[in-house]
Structure 1
């Protein structure tokens, strides 16, 4: 079934696109949620202006994200966490901790932009990728330090 999208839907299409979807997906989700309508000639014309405006908004948002990438790429986030004498954390450093630290530094980063394969559970320096858009990535250095102040041992690990 062909439908005309009324909103941007990730992995499906943008506002104003005519896409082919399964009948059940259209009838049970897209149409009742008013995310799509049937692609009549009148509907296509009415969404044409909205599609142009949305394309301009996407271009502006992409430019803003490129500026954020340029600013945050290579930044350093220092996160303090409780750890034992061997440098193992009692908990872990998650995406929200890293994003929160970067926000405190003035960067516009949300929790879902931080890409961790698994939570950080060791004291030391770690490289973390940020995914700001489908094809925009930045790399930040995350330094995890022990809250009890054993920074000397951490400095030795970083220099090695």
Structure 2
């Protein structure tokens, strides 16, 4: 029996995988527990549409992150801190110090 996994199942597959299992395992365990649904034509079409929408959303997020990275590219900040002669600083730089040094606003 072909099924579509709705959750990750150990030694069987990951979410949205279409796998073949024995009918009893699907009917008695996977489907009642909500781990899977039957892989009929309608459910396969829904799965394909969901995967297409997910890919579109991921591409949109990736493009937005790329645009934000371009805004920050070339941004140089000088932060005064105690340092050893080797160049390592003592302590750490936090977000408050970064905000104090960045005078002009950059819309992120």
Give the TM-score band, short-chain normalised.
Answer: 0.3 to 0.5
User: Would you tell me which structure has more helix in proportion to its own residues?
Assistant: 2
TM-score, normalised to structure 2, is 0.45
